[in-house]
Amino acid sequence: MKNQEFLNKAERLFPKLNKVTVYPVRTVRPENADGKYVAVETGSYTEEKLSTGDSVVLDFGDHETGFFTAHFGSAGAHPDAPVWIRVRFAERLSEFFEDAAEYKGWISKAWIQETQAHLDILPCEISFPRRYAFRYVKIEVLDCSSRFKLTVEDASATAVSSADDSSILTYSCKDPEMEPLDRIAARTLHECMQTVFEDGPKRDRRLWMGDLRLEALTNYETYQANGLVKEGLYLFAGDTDDDGRVASNLFIEPSIEADDVYMFDYSLFFTTTLRDYYVNTKDKETLLELYETAIKQVELSEERLGADGVVKDSDMMGWCFVDWNLGLNKQASAHGIYLYALLAAADLASYMGEKEKEDEYRKRHVSGVQAVRKALYDPEKGVFVSGSSRQISFASQCWLILGKALSDKEGRSALESVESLSDAEGMVTPYMYHHYIQALIDVGLEDKAKDVMKEYWGGMVSDGADTFFELYRPGHPNESPYGGTIVNSYCHAWSCAPAYFIRKYEW
């Protein structure tokens, strides 16, 4: 159901993209030393003379999102045949050790960042038309006549982002170990700030509700591009299903269109994201216009409550997202998210001056807490279980803490217990870790939250991260829900949590 007025309003908020020309800072040879990837500096790429099978790797020194241009020449006899090249773009060095032909996963291999070109006449300049996300660019010669060699005379990229680095709030970390985490998180967000808050500039390059929520939170502490949050909210409200349900994600081009994928949690995050937006901006006009859509998500979510008042479980993949752990049962987390959204709805009603509605949502929250404690709380173990298999997971504890279904003391013991249970389902994304950090803070374990952040996000830094990854499970480098890490994204804004927590809690 399109609301053209909302969509027009959103489009008027589309930001201008800043364009910066960037150049490789050095030429490198990637090496894989037992799963540790290192870039060995070599001579300058302009000095290389490339024959069939040769390659050169350009290092731009940081993660960039943009358009690559190279100027090619030749050495030796006059070129008597075209040169056939492959160009690969990598966010991390590890990507060069993967073979696109071996990827057999369930999402399209068209996401893989590589292309081929024939250079018919030399010298020539090629501007590659696709936008890529990369730090490294590898140019490989697939075939070149033996009478001459290929040279790369010049290379550059036009980097694009709507983030304005001069507007980022300055912050000096109290704990120096937090500094790289804050900086890399801000860079991650910067790269994802395009016409919309993209989830990742490599993949899926579009607006997802769950990602928007966390990007918005970090944005309030950093770039304060609040128009981009407002734009995202109007886009989601401008293309719902016929019942008024907010989609999980939207395609932006060639024109705005909601994906036909609806997820229980992502729809509810519209409500909580509008609450956060209002708290941070006090933009009453947007609140007034989007309030109905926000409230609607809570009403629709209640269709999923069972006779016992608890969100019903489902076997359908993706009915509720929570995390990319494919073994995770989502029921308890979904109920926690429902409770969390009820509190946001109550807040929104109070900002609207609707006292009765506010009380009503708070009452429903109390009943929702009672219902889930009765159905899914195991008082002996001190944890929530989920689904008919009564699965115990970090996600269930975190979300029911965030939904205020436990006292702080109970929350602390739930998090301690789940950590001590070796068979508890863990977390595989920085997205879920964001919620774990928040849950630790909420129950009064702020020091532990800092340690977890240093260890988890610091682990990505030790693995050479210039931006934070979509998926990260320490000790499991091959983690991918897609059937191959070659399509994983290594700059994913749902992982920019450090810049949010460090600044908000003054770490």
User: Which residues here bind ligand RAM, judged by CB under 6 A?
Assistant: 199-200, 204, 208, 210-211, 321, 494
Alpha helices of 327-385 — where are they, by DSSP H?
331-351, 355-376
Nearer to ligand RAM, 286 or 489 (CB): 489
Nearer to ligand RAM, 16 or 104 (CB): 104
In angstroms, give the least distance from the CB of 367 to ligand RAM. Answer: 29
Nearer to ligand RAM, 184 or 414 (CB): 184
Nearer to ligand RAM, 74 or 248 (CB): 248
- φ, ψ for residue 334 (rounded to 5)? -60, -40
Q: Which amino acid is at 486?
A: I
Select from 131, 33, 152 the least CA-distant residue to 89: 131
In angstroms, give the least distance from the CB of 132 to ligand RAM. Answer: 17
DSSP E strands in 52-147: the ranges are 55-76, 83-90, 114-119, 124-127, 132-143
Distance, in Å, from the CA atom of 359 to the CA atom of 351, rounded to the nearest integer, reads: 13
Nearer to ligand RAM, 50 or 235 (CB): 235
In angstroms, give the least distance from the CB of 489 to ligand RAM. Answer: 6
In angstroms, give the least distance from the CB of 471 to ligand RAM. Answer: 9
Distance, in Å, from the CA atom of 148 to the CA atom of 140, rounded to the nearest integer, reads: 16
In angstroms, give the least distance from the CB of 160 to ligand RAM. Answer: 19
DSSP string, 419-477: HH-TTSB---SHHHHHHHHHHHHHTT-HHHHHHHHHHHHHHHHHTT-SS--S---TT-T
Nearer to ligand RAM, 400 or 491 (CB): 491
In angstroms, give the least distance from the CB of 198 to ligand RAM. Answer: 9
In angstroms, give the least distance from the CB of 53 to ligand RAM. Answer: 35
Nearer to ligand RAM, 78 or 104 (CB): 104
Two structure tokens written together for 325: 């752990």
In angstroms, give the least distance from the CB of 204 to ligand RAM. Answer: 5
In angstroms, give the least distance from the CB of 345 to ligand RAM. Answer: 22
Question: Angle, nearest 10°, between helix axes 331-351 and 355-376?
Answer: 170
Phi/psi region, residue 149 (left: phi>0; alpha: psi -120 to 50; beta: rest), is beta
Nearer to ligand RAM, 73 or 210 (CB): 210
Q: How big is the chain, counted in residues?
A: 507
Q: Which long-range contacts (CB under 8 A, 24 or more apart) does 444-449 make?
A: 444/408, 444/412, 445/412, 445/415, 446/505, 449/501
Nearer to ligand RAM, 72 or 494 (CB): 494
Strand pairing partners for 143? 84
Phi/psi region, residue 15 (left: phi>0; alpha: psi -120 to 50; beta: rest), is beta
Strand pairing partners for 158? 21, 67
Q: Tell me the chain's radius of gyration from C-alpha atoms.
A: 24
